[in-house]
Amino acid sequence: MLVALLSDPLIRHMGNGEIETMNTKKVEASKHKKANFDYASVKMLNPANVTWGAVQDATRNAIGNTNKSGKSNDANYAPMGKLAIPNVAMRLPIGKGLGHVVLSRGAGTMTADQQMGQGNFAMAGHYMTNTRILFSPLKRVKIGDMIYLTDLKKVYRYRTFSKRTVSKNAVEVLRDVPGKKVVTLITCASPYTNEPNRIVVQGELVGTSTNLNRYKNIFG
């Protein structure tokens, strides 16, 4: 309960902040930034590290989002786009990689070279005790639900065709699906430490659009 009381408002604030300030210039710049893609290094969120993430966020906004060394820097949030699943009221920013700052705000991309609308666009996110934030709503997703992605140039529409619980070691969910262009969303099966299973939701690409205004209310 303490974790939720302290963390949830900050998580919502940071995620909404990324959504509201995201633009095509930032997304394009993210393509050239390095990021941490080590899934094994992902840690559970708690009041201390969420608060630290908020401090890093404030510092980044105050002094500018720069990293002269060119090395991966968690505080250097690199926006890749937005994710929305309207049927479960899920709306999140997509950040590059699996660093703490990325996953405390929303979805994180799992490989360096993946592209929306191509192959298997895989993302991970945290499952929380508050089932309305981050990737927790995935537990309520149903087959047929629409999943929307945008890179701020196009909107990519996917229809859910698979939802299952797998071992945390089931790396096959990251592989391409023959004959399909898919999105894969992965989260822990519970909010508990050392949870051995993962919820995996997959959707197949059914269309794209350059009319971003049509989907403005979906992404926010």
Annotated catalytic residues are: 126, 188
Cα separation, 1 vs 196, whole angstroms: 23
Check: CB of residue 187 under 8 Å from CB of residue 126.
Answer: yes
**Nearest one of 179, 171, 174, 89 to 138, comparing CA atoms:** 89
Cα separation, 17 vs 213, whole angstroms: 20
**3-class secondary structure for 135-171?**
CHHHHHCCCCCEEEEECCCCEEEEEEEEEEEEECCCH
Cα separation, 2 vs 14, whole angstroms: 19
